[in-house]
Structure 1
Amino acid sequence: MECGQVLTEEAALPTCQGCGTKVRDVHKFCGGCGLPREKALRAEAKLV
């Protein structure tokens, strides 16, 4: 995998509203702040 492909994948990932970390689908918690993925993404949906 090339660097450009990784960046493209990362850009498509949802962002945690707690800390701005990209949250992968397979993770149940945000890697940056530890917020449960569902809560982090639900907060994002409310802002849109």
Structure 2
Amino acid sequence: MTITVAHLQPVIAIIAGVLILIMPRLLNYIVAIYLILAGLFGLGIVH
């Protein structure tokens, strides 16, 4: 079984949601990192 981005996104979303609930100030950083990574994966720069 290979793990792809499609498998990781729900796990990352759950972890990010828990972190945001614990520390709301992390929201800006979590969203920024997610958007950067989603862009890099979408462009195919990161495999």
Smaller-chain TM-score range?
Answer: 0.3 to 0.5
With structure 2 as the length reference, what TM-score do the two structures score? 0.35
Structure with more of its chain in helix, by fraction:
2
Query: TM-score, normalization: structure 1?
Result: 0.34
